[in-house]
Amino acid sequence: MPRRRTKSPKPRPCDSCQTPSLVRYRIQYDESQEWQLVCPECQKQCSDRPHYRYGGTWKAR
């Protein structure tokens, strides 16, 4: 039997700009190689950096 969702999804803040987002991307984009969960807008801005690495998509449930 499928799970029932009784509440609406809760947006979480972007690690970069702090804007609440229902979808965030797990990326590395600098020499520290630390994973960040960022909104789609920040992901687009970081995707052309030399240390960029995509690690998955997080969706609010």
Would you give per-residue pLDDT tens digits along the chain (61 residues)? 666 666 788 999 999 999 999 999 999 999 999 999 999 999 999 999 999 999 999 998 8
Report the distance separating Cα 58 and Cα 5, nearest Å.
17
Query: Model-level pTM?
Result: 0.82
b (16+ CB within 10 A) / e for 1-11: eeeeeeeeeee
Query: Would you kindly state where each structural domain of the chain is located, as residue ranges?
Result: 12-59
